[in-house]
Structure 1
Amino acid sequence: MVTYEVVDVVPDTPEWEQERRNSVGASEVAAVMGLSPYATALDVYRSKQGVDREFDPLLSFIGHESEHIIHKWVEEFSGVDVKLEPAFMARSAAYPFLHASFDRVSSIPFTTWQFKTAHHYTGHKWDEGIPTDIRIQVQAEMLVAGTQRAAVVVWIGGREFRLFWEDRDDRFIDDHMLPALTTFWENLQADVAPPPANVAEMAEAWHDSGDEMEAPEELQDRIEQRAFLLASAKEMEADANKIRDELGAFMLEHNVEKFTVGGKTLLTYKRQNGRASFDGKRFREEHPDLAAEYTQQGAPYLVMRTYKPKETK
């Protein structure tokens, strides 16, 4: 049973980009569900209307070019007896608002392959398995492809490869993914934007009402939790600074400015030039006309402050 139709477009062309706007991509599903660390549902909504977020073309280039190396690793070093075939874009026959761009596919049985790269500083995110947003992407790809298992390969730090197998989770797909996608797509057709999900999006939609209300009990707990986390962060920063001072004293005593391990740099502590500053107050006093001409007012931004009981009115 064919569960998808092949979308015959060349990747990274205007035609390909337009096809992407006609439905939600598997890589965008986590954002639609509010489970992506890189994008929000509002980002996806805007992209479907032709307003894309800025992206780093170098990272895109690295991602595409690394696929050839990962492909070779799978066939020659992974231990899996498989022949990978070229990727293609496919749109779900049952859910036309969903498409997927597979990195590679293999036959007998038909299986989709997803390739990822990770910096060695972020490789730990794969220690417990496939990260949540990637798992959601792969579940969406299996829904489009009509498959029961998918493969994910990550290339970490240019040195380490890891292969994961992901089984299809129909309960997650039926109970969570499809309802979220259906609601998102229906709202998109009706020009109903998703609610703001972060401080930047809230700043765009914010209205200075000046009103107040009694904080709900469940939010009081969250307010206290936030205050605790901020205090803990300050304590950890103080502990880190204490260690910094201990290390600095040791390096000063031994007249060194670099620690190494096995010949590789571990830590440096060096003098650097102080930051140049501009005396804006003096300039405004002595040259008020010039100051006014060259002063630009920044956009308003949101600031959240927590008050202790004795600080409230």
Structure 2
Amino acid sequence: MCKVLVKTSGLSHEEWLKYRKLGLGGSDAGAICGLNPYSSPMSVYFDKIGDEIILIDNEAMKQGRDLEDYVAKRFIEATGLKVRRANSIFMHEQYPHLLANVDRMLVGENIGLECKTASPYSAGKWKDGEVPAHYLAQCYHYMAVMNADAWYIAVVILGQDFKYVKIERDEEIINNLIKIETDFWNNNVCRRVIPEPDGSKEVDELINQYFGTPHSHESLILQGFDDALQRREELNEFIARLEQEKRKIEQDIKLFMADSEVAINDSYRITWKNTIATKLDTERLKTERPDIYQEYSKVSNYRRLLIKAA
């Protein structure tokens, strides 16, 4: 059985976010496993160790909350099952760092419901009963915390469709997930050890955000990176060859098209048209009107990484 960490009735959004920092929730599970295209283990790590409560609330998040009740009603209509709000943040009895803030529980059954909304551009991710991997991880996480028999996930694809899928309990997946999340909590969050980067742009932004200003001008002895840096050089050469190959393909097409603007076949439509672009002559502006240049100049401060062979 699970335990109730806190009742959410009357809890402000800021207070709810504070409680989320006490453990790992369902939306963290996919990121920790490397399955979430919009988050990463590093972003979860910095969120959990920071004292600051960041109130991120965009239009998509607002619509998701507002439409949660509608998705639940559509699920009831489609299945004939009854659901209820849980109104609590739950915690795993054995692993108190595993938390669950579930959308709905089925009446009379130990089964939950996760409500989602998706844009029409994401419809393909839900075809033929498929569920995006990070949402699957979320549902298995809830099954782990709630010791549930199964979990439903329902989605309204805005303006297009409604779907629902029943995810059966899988002990092997749940045990592996608990192991991964517990390892992350104990060895990264509790020990303040930053997770390995994954090469994503989001991790780039996080590193620049937290280490954007150097506080030491001491030179470090570079250790343990020779093989990785050699591989980086090989990748740069490989990327350069690929870019050249790509340009050659484009050059061949341009020679084929000559003075024509459009070329079409059953698979592709290519256009090669004149485009007029207006570009500010900043050098001339700086010379002739330095006052205006100075007034509208924006100074950016960032750390630039340069790697040179010794």
Q: Which TM class, normalised by the smaller chain length?
A: 0.7 to 0.9
- The alignment of Structure 1 onto Structure 2 pairs a total of residues equal to 283
| Aligned with residue 297 of structure 1, among 273, 297, 300 | 300
1:165-204 pair list within 5 angstroms: 165-175=166-176, 177-186=177-186, 187-197=188-198, 198-203=203-208
Aligned: 1:5 with 2:4: yes
Note the C-alpha offset of 1:55: 3.5
CA distance in 1, matches of 2:137, 2:92: 16
TM-aligned CA distance change 1:302 to 1:90, over 3 Å: same
TM-aligned CA distance change 1:225 to 1:174, over 3 Å: farther
- Matched with 1:163 is 164
Aligned: 1:81 with 2:80: yes
TM-score by length of 1: 0.72
TM-score by length of 2: 0.73
CA distance in 1, matches of 2:68, 2:236: 46
| Aligned with residue 279 of structure 1, among 278, 281, 285 | 281
- Matched with 1:134 is 135
- Matched with 1:309 is none
TM-aligned CA distance change 1:62 to 1:147, over 3 Å: same
CA distance in 1, matches of 2:150, 2:45: 29
1:78-157 pair list within 5 angstroms: 78=78, 80-88=79-87, 89-127=89-127, 129-157=130-158
Question: Are the aligned partners of 1:46 and 1:52 in contact in 2 as well (CA < 8 Å)?
Answer: no
SS of corresponding position for 1:35: coil
Moved more, 122-131 or 206-215: 206-215
Instruction: Give the aligned CA root-mean-square deviation in angstroms.
Output: 4.2
TM-aligned CA distance change 1:193 to 1:249, over 3 Å: closer
CA distance in 1, matches of 2:83, 2:244: 49
Q: Percent identity?
A: 22
- Matched with 1:57 is 58
Note the C-alpha offset of 1:86: 1.4
- Matched with 2:21 is 21
Q: Deviations over 1:269-293 (max 9, x none)?
A: 9x99955432111123335576567
The amino acid across from 1:24 in the alignment is L
TM-aligned CA distance change 1:71 to 1:59, over 3 Å: same
CA distance in 2, matches of 1:33, 1:230: 31
Q: Deviations over 1:150-175 (max 9, x none)?
A: 10011113230111111222212223
SS of corresponding position for 1:163: strand
Note the C-alpha offset of 1:230: 5.7
Alignment gaps of 5+ in structure 2: none
Note the C-alpha offset of 1:225: 11
Q: Deviations over 1:235-277 (max 9, x none)?
A: 7x959x98xx9x96499xxxxxxxxxxxxxxx9x9x9995543
- Matched with 1:259 is none
TM-aligned CA distance change 1:12 to 1:286, over 3 Å: same
SS of corresponding position for 2:60: helix
Note the C-alpha offset of 1:14: 2.5
SS of corresponding position for 1:172: helix
The amino acid across from 2:204 in the alignment is V
Q: Deviations over 1:29-58 (max 9, x none)?
A: 111222211111221122222346673432
CA distance in 1, matches of 2:233, 2:304: 25
Question: Are the aligned partners of 1:116 and 1:153 in contact in 2 as well (CA < 8 Å)?
Answer: yes
- Matched with 1:261 is none
SS of corresponding position for 2:84: coil
- Matched with 2:69 is 68
The amino acid across from 1:30 in the alignment is G
SS of corresponding position for 2:121: coil
SS of corresponding position for 1:121: helix
CA distance in 2, matches of 1:35, 1:225: 30
TM-aligned CA distance change 1:22 to 1:161, over 3 Å: same
Alignment gaps of 5+ in structure 1: 252-266, 305-311
CA distance in 2, matches of 1:229, 1:160: 44
Q: Deviations over 1:208-251 (max 9, x none)?
A: 9797965469958993897399659947x959x98xx9x96499
Q: Deviations over 1:106-131 (max 9, x none)?
A: 03322110011111111111225111
Question: Are the aligned partners of 2:26 and 2:141 in contact in 1 as well (CA < 8 Å)?
Answer: yes
